[in-house]
Structure 1
């Protein structure tokens, strides 16, 4: 696409943006969420959730392949007309900015609980929005480079969790399928929040340098996320008892407290300090999708003025919006519910509508 020639991303960056967006806030509480409904069979639900996410990811790529020269805004306007298309795009923008907001407020909440309990919300918000703004303002190419950087400096983090395998009880996983089929299937919806991020392919596709690799890239991204989710979940399931794991809000962090190294204490604090970059890599792509969409909606080329406005809104909201753990949990559930529609339902409906649309166009030409 000519208009994106100087702001393109490589296949590697495309994969890492989606992968790092998925492996963000959800992985910290994922084992507990799965255990609450599916017990220790929750890892099976992860496999089913991965399959569903792959299928819907391919649907999104198929939609964009039929309209390779169009952004999501142009695509919706083409299919539904100017005003309906704009209305649907506004909903997409609101979804993206809500996702970014949920993650940043959740991040502040986690840092206050685990590292800086006396630190004020607005101070943490200032410290967070500065690097987020610096990365986001430069556009998708810099976001892609940032994703590569975060990937490189976080490669040690999954390996660290292997130290938690000491004193594990593998029989906790047996017998496989003991909870029955219905709990396993019902737990699949708990994996939706964890796999959210692949819907950003709607935004990333026009920037991808070699669009023929989009299908391969999104399958790899989802699969990398699955590997991390399975690793964290299974280690948690064999380290904690089926009842104990439900008592932890963030079992992944509790795993780190069990790791004892002779030269290091409070490993979870060091882990979280690096993990902030992972959380930023969930916030930044959603935030960029929102401000880019808003700038396109307003007919502006530069997304930075809208980005500055949103940074100010986040900062101001940190003075009077102090979400509790219950509110954070509810916000996460609301994001998961919205993600069910924007990442799973709407792409399928859009694909079906597109099939009918292109079929009708073909008949008119004949």
Structure 2
């Protein structure tokens, strides 16, 4: 939509944070533990390093094509038809991730809060709350992301209690997982860390030089990595090895066990506030998918496409999936997501290096 730089550096920072921290936060410790056990922090560290490498690739691409989004770069570097096909893959990716975020969160609400309310009911209400933000300009979306920033910062604060009263013996033994298990842990974390690719869509609309933007997204990425590490370690400290295998959302069970003098069930209070953060995450992916469709079809009908994508993500609700089947679905999607978001930026860098580079203005 907007062509001039309209997002500030602070807004870019929180755009990245909200895109990467979503509903996958709650199940991240369990997913990694299934493969890497107590060495799960190594899987998370390796995944963070890989994401940083990809961010550097996105920086190189943006430096060579400073006025083009990811979708236009694909067409310029790979040619019209192959580029269109890659854009279509990204569109499907953004729609699918948005749908999984929506489905995952509504399942959480159904299990933890409204277990007698049909999921389509509060999914419809959730989408209704997303429409005003999605129909806003990119500048307004950026302001909303900054406004909701304190919700993200409550994540490490809520679990700080575990560092004092947790059992540090639960972190042992160390070094039990082989390298293949650690790599499987990296793949298992994909649903939680895959939001980083969205920055390549909004880079042309952010004020500053490519180098400044790269520093901002790198700082945001390592902030997310720190938050994830805190969640992972506190989950290991709080629960035994047997419990970690059984609890699908260790973070929520952890804060549920905390009790204050005048406040009970912190998990319900946290989920109520966290729904706002899920709205921002969902809107970011739908926005990127909408921009992709507009580029693919060469149209400017933003609202019509956005509503269409909302309906498409809503249809995921009618898939007959239990919480375990949903986890299996995420597992199947993780590998193709890794190829698309990890390997494709590297390929674009290699292909663009053999083409004539555009000079930044």
| TM class by smaller structure | over 0.9
In structure 2, runs of 5+ residues without a counterpart are none
- TM-score (structure 1 length as normaliser): 0.92
1:189 aligned partner = 187
2:118 aligned partner = 120
2:128 aligned partner = 130
1:108 aligns to 2:114 (yes or no): no
1:145 aligned partner = 143
Q: Secondary structure at the match of 1:357?
A: coil
Change (3 A) 1:315 1:45: closer
2:351 aligned partner = 353
After TM superposition, list the pairs within 5 Å mapping 1:44-63 onto structure 2. 44-63=42-61
Which one is further off, 196-205 or 350-359?
A: 350-359
C-alpha distance in 1 between matches for 2:82 and 2:312: 27
1:211 aligned partner = 209
Change (3 A) 1:315 1:55: closer
Q: What is the deviation of 1:4?
A: 1.9
2:198 aligned partner = 200
1:312 aligned partner = 311
Superposed CA offset, 1:18-76 (max 9, x none):
11211111210111112111111111221111111101111011112101122223222
- Aligned Cα RMSD in Å? 2.1
Aligned residues of 1:95 and 1:338 also touching (Cα < 8 A): no
2:31 aligned partner = 33
C-alpha distance in 2 between matches for 1:314 and 1:71: 23
Change (3 A) 1:25 1:217: same
Q: What is the deviation of 1:187?
A: 2.0
Aligned residues of 2:34 and 2:245 also touching (Cα < 8 A): yes
Q: Secondary structure at the match of 1:70?
A: coil
Change (3 A) 1:181 1:90: closer
Q: Secondary structure at the match of 1:301?
A: coil
Superposed CA offset, 1:298-356 (max 9, x none):
222231111122233444664x4343112311232233223202210111111111112
Change (3 A) 1:355 1:100: same
Change (3 A) 1:336 1:186: closer
Q: Secondary structure at the match of 2:259?
A: coil
- TM-score (structure 2 length as normaliser): 0.93
Q: What is the deviation of 1:280?
A: 1.9
Q: Secondary structure at the match of 1:4?
A: coil
C-alpha distance in 1 between matches for 2:146 and 2:6: 15
Aligned residues of 1:102 and 1:331 also touching (Cα < 8 A): no
1:238 aligns to 2:219 (yes or no): no
1:364 aligned partner = none
C-alpha distance in 2 between matches for 1:150 and 1:93: 26
1:284 aligned partner = 283
Q: What is the deviation of 1:105?
A: 0.8
2:9 to 2, 11, 14: 11
Equivalenced residue count is 358
C-alpha distance in 1 between matches for 2:309 and 2:119: 17
2:328 aligned partner = 330
